Amino acid sequence: GAVVSQHPSWVICKSGTSVKIECRSLDFQATTMFWYRQFPKQSLMLMATSNEGSKATYEQGVEKDKFLINHASLTLSTLTVTSAHPEDSSFYICSARDRLASNLNLEFFGPGTRLTVL
Amino acid sequence: ELKVEQNPLFLSMQEGKNYTIYCNYSTTSDRLYWYRQDPGKSLESLFVLLSNGAVKQEGRLMASLDTKARLSTLHITAAVHDLSATYFCAGHTGTASKLTFGTGTRLQVTL
């Protein structure tokens, strides 16, 4: 149980285009999902917290107009990188918190999406 | 704001040896997590430590938590090559309800 999927697993795009990444909780409902970015050989940096049916909460320094987050259902959150540039190239990982196991605040992580912007 | 530091950042150890990874955090964290990440992959949950003195063990890995010292340790016993990976600890603050990750420790177990 507690499987989180991401799609696509990798994407290459041209500078200036937009890319959408999907994060799905496959066998549980997630009222809260998180988006992280990880640069090579570095730690995970939280970008934003996504709550179903409400606006995402962005961490300091993360441009909300550039990284659009939508959490339209209890099993799906999307991250759209708008007008991508080479410096946006990174490994993007989502996680989801099981609504029914909130006492442990366990986050289940997706497999990640590697974005390369040319 | 919670800050989490790990040391060492890189650890090369021989098979069969024991070693400990340290995770220090700056302010009160109501729980502490340990994760493993293989190259190019996402995170695998290893342990959740909920209270002072908590100790959890799985195979050759044992994690402990000392909330008074704001320290968690991940002890590796008789390392094997399969344990080679990057290990992250993460603290959680109830107020913000989010994880703050440590810097990571890249473990390389050599034959």
- How far apart CA A25 and CA A60 sit, in angstroms, is 26
Residues 10-29 of chain B with CB under 8 A from chain A are none
pLDDT of residue A38: 93
Band the pLDDT of B53: cuts 50, 70, 90: confident
pLDDT of residue B42: 87
Band the pLDDT of B33: cuts 50, 70, 90: very high
Band the pLDDT of B1: cuts 50, 70, 90: confident
CA distance B50 to chain A (A): 8
Contacts A106 to B, Cβ<8 Å:
45, 48
CB nearest to B48's CB, from A44, A46, A104: A104
CB nearest to B42's CB, from A32, A104, A110: A110
pLDDT of residue A111: 93
pLDDT of B101 above 80: yes
Half-sphere exposure of A52 (CA within 13 A, CB side): 15
- How far apart CA A5 and CA A24 sit, in angstroms, is 5
pLDDT of residue B28: 78
Stretches where chain A sits below pLDDT 70 are 1, 101-104
Compute the residue count for chain B. Answer: 111
CB nearest to A43's CB, from B31, B45, B101: B101
